[in-house]
Amino acid sequence: MPETDTHQDEADLTLLETAAREAGALALTYFGRDPRTWLKGNKSPVSEADLAVDTLLASRLRESRPEYGWLSEETVDDKRRLDQDRVFIVDPIDGTRAFLAGGEEWTVSVAVVDRGRPVAGAVFCPRRDEMFLARAKGGCRLNGETILVSKRADVQGSRLTGPHSIVSAEAVRASGFEPQEILRSLAYRIANVACGRVEVAAARGGPSDWDLAAADLLVQEAGGKLSGLDGQSMIYNREKTRHPALIAAPAALLEAATAVLGDVIR
């Protein structure tokens, strides 16, 4: 990770937290009220709530830091971000399917990335009133309390969250992993690794920067790692925003988890 400005990172984190709380409150005004919904080009759902939250976040964040770039799932990509060191990376509602179905695990996910790596991140789960916050070299907190990843270093008995097709795979069952709740927000899935509720979160290839950037920092600052099957960290704010299959886990468990899950998720 590049050298960062601790004062600026802390100021950015305060801004992210305030904006995420306001965004979550706005999203709740649509929750359970049958918002207008349609399908995007990749056949994933989007609703009027996603767009309203995106507009609010853009207003709060971009007006506060007009010199920063912007990348959001619900905003047309402005390639000028590629020329800027600091960039907001935003998912207004991560887990739209959960949101529309009345589930609790959807989140607002916002991050500041500096030269490819996150330096401030907030993942807010409004229905559970859980605010995960992290800044580079500043640790990770859940509702103000410092959190750490699990100390478990063995796959046997480790809790795994991911899509049903992953957690129910024969190789996973045979390994001794304990499948957990299917969390439809990838950011929240990774946040649950950061706070030790589960040891491992997995996803097949296809997640985008906005799904990952904030949660990546959470798990890193809590003592874990989010990586591809090659063990390399994610780099953000590139021209192509999608990422390959990935695993989040405590650092001591990552290699063993990858050995079991690699053929399942690749």
Summarised one tens digit per residue, pLDDT across range 181-211 is: 889 999 999 999 999 999 999 999 999 999 9
pLDDT of 42 > 90? The answer is: no
Where along the chain do its domains lie?
6-146, 159-265
Task: Give residue 216's Cα distance to chain centre.
Answer: 6
Q: How far, in Å, CA of 235 to CA of 118, rounded?
A: 9
Q: How far, in Å, CA of 202 to CA of 193, rounded?
A: 10
User: In CATH, what class is 6-146?
Assistant: alpha beta
Asked whether 71 and 90 are in contact (CB, 8 A), the reply is: yes
The verdict on domain 159-265 having CATH code 3.40.50.1980 is: no
Q: What are 75-98's pLDDT values in tens digits?
A: 999 999 999 999 999 999 999 999
Q: How far, in Å, CA of 63 to CA of 47, rounded?
A: 24
Burial group, residue 115, by CB count within 10 angstroms (0-12, 13-18, 19+): middle
Task: Name the residue with tokens 């899950």.
Answer: 261
Q: What are 137-150's pLDDT values in tens digits?
A: 999 999 999 999 99
46: helix, strand or coil: strand
Cα–Cα nearest to 256, from 157, 148, 147: 157
Beta strands in 155-262 (DSSP E): 159-161, 178-179, 200-203, 224-228, 246-250
How many Cβ atoms from other residues are within 10 Å of residue 214's Cβ? 33
Cα–Cα nearest to 244, from 217, 206, 202: 206
Asked whether 92 and 50 are in contact (CB, 8 A), the reply is: yes
Question: How high is the pLDDT of residue 75?
Answer: 97
Which two structure tokens, joined as six digits, stand for 132? 């995960």
